[in-house]
Chain A
C-alpha cells in the first residue's frame, strides 16, 4: 500500500512563474490536507479538501494560492506569480473518512523561488 505521494520533490521557479504541486493520497483515503513549513517554523495548515470539495481553506493566502482535488487524479496546490517568500516545504497529508485526527504525510515538495 503506497503512502502519500507528492511530486515533484524539488521545484525551482523564478519570481512571477507558476508552481503546481501534486499529491496523491494513500489508497482508501478521501481527505487531503496541505501544510506549509517555513524554515525554523512548524507546519501551518493551509487547506482541507475532499473529492471535488474544498472543506476549509482558512489557512490559504487570499491571493495567488488555490487548491483542488478533482474526482479523478491527484490534488493540486497551485501558486501563481510566485515570490521569494513562497519558498518553503509544502506537505500533503491524507486520511480516511474516520480519522480521529490522524493524518499521514507525504515526503513534501521543496519549492525554491529564485
Chain B
C-alpha cells in the first residue's frame, strides 16, 4: 500500500467550476498535510497546509482534513485556466516531521 494515494486524473473541469481533489494516507500518526501545485517542468509550489480536522480556506482554495478517515482534500473554486497543473498531496511522517511523503499527483485541466 502506498503511503499517500491520489487519483492520477486527469481531472478536467470547465472554467468557473469547482475542482475537487482527493488524497488518502496510510500513516495514522501523521500530523501535517500539504498541497503543492506543480506546473509542467517546474518546482512544486506550496499552496495550502492544514494541521487540524475541518476546513481551511485561503482565497479560492479550501483544504479539508479528516484524520479519522485519513483523508485530505483540496477544493479549487472558480477554476481558472491558470490552475491547470499537477497537484501534489504531501503528508509528514509521525516520527520525523521533516520527512514528507508525496502522492503521485493529480493533473487538473481547466477548459476555457
Q: In the bound complex, what is the Cα–Cα distance between A91 and B100 (angstroms)?
A: 13
Let me know if B88 and A45 touch, CB within 8 A: no
- Is B45 interfacial (CB-CB < 8 Å)? yes
**Stretch of B52-60, B75-83, B90-98 at the chain-chain interface:** B90-98
Question: What per-residue 1/0 map shows which CB atoms of A74-108 lie under 8 Å from chain B?
Answer: 00000000000000000100010001111111111
Closest residue of chain B to A4 (Cβ to Cβ) is B43
Distance to closest chain A CB from B70 (angstroms): 17
Bound Cα distance from A57 to B82, whole angstroms: 36
Whether B61 sits at the interface, judged by CB under 8 Å, is no
Q: Which of B91-110 contact A (CB under 8 A)?
A: 92, 96-105
Chain A residues whose C-beta falls within 8 Å of the C-beta of B97 in the assembled complex: 99-101
Chain B: minimal CB distance from A24 (Å):
14
Report the minimum CB–CB distance from A2 to chain B (whole Å): 13
Q: How far is the CB of B58 from chain A (nearest CB, A)?
A: 14
Which B residues lie within 8 Å of A41 (CB)? 104
A106 and B98 form a contact (CB under 8 A): no
Contact (Cβ within 8 A) B96 A56: yes
Is A44 touching B98 in the complex (CB atoms < 8 A)?
Answer: no
Chain B residues close to A by CB (< 8 Å): 4, 8, 31-32, 34, 36, 42-46, 49, 51, 88, 90, 92, 96-105
Which of A's residues lie within 8 Å of B, judged by CB? 4, 31, 33, 35, 40-45, 48, 55-56, 59, 91, 95, 99-108
